[in-house]
Structure 1
């Protein structure tokens, strides 16, 4: 039974499923699960500017850019949000 749950959850966070069900942004929690780590680890990486894909702060909300997440999942290469020279910090 436990294996079925992990298999189902893994399919939920596959690139195909993300493309079909997510809007332009997703939650840090869901993006973290798609990348294979916990929500707490995801928010820690966001705080340090090391989350592996683009992150937007909208008011008090933090959202992960879906297109960036998909590129990271498919390539295995991070797109650190704090690592781009053109990143707006205002």
Structure 2
């Protein structure tokens, strides 16, 4: 997904924009930015099983479930990837 750099981050990662432009999954990097943290922090949370929304492992790749990301953005409640206590 290529996004123009001149567009404000808040507009790029709004729930309405994500709904309109993302498919069923998105990259960890984009999801981390939508949630307000860095790519490195996003991958660290994925490794620890603490990313705030559902993450699918597909081979060696990790993909964030778009519907889960939208629920987290709209509710503010994490849906930890099988790490609920």
Q: What TM-score results when the alignment is normalised by the length of structure 1?
A: 0.84
Q: Distance in 2 between matches of 1:83 and 1:40?
A: 20
For structure 1, which runs of at least 5 residues remain unmatched after alignment?
A: 85-90
How far did residue 77 of structure 1 move?
0.1
Secondary structure in 2 matching 1:80:
coil
> What residue is the counterpart of 1:26 in the other structure?
26
Q: Describe how 1:1-90 pairs up with structure 2 within 5 A.
A: 8-83=8-83
Structure of greater Rg: 1
Whichever structure has more helix as a proportion of its residues is 1
Runs of 4+ with deviation above 6 angstroms: none
How far did residue 10 of structure 1 move?
1.3
For structure 2, which runs of at least 5 residues remain unmatched after alignment?
A: none
How far did residue 7 of structure 1 move?
6.3
Q: CA RMSD, aligned part only?
A: 1.7
* Compared CA separation, residues 74 and 6, structure 1 to 2 (3 A): farther
How many corresponding residue pairs? 81
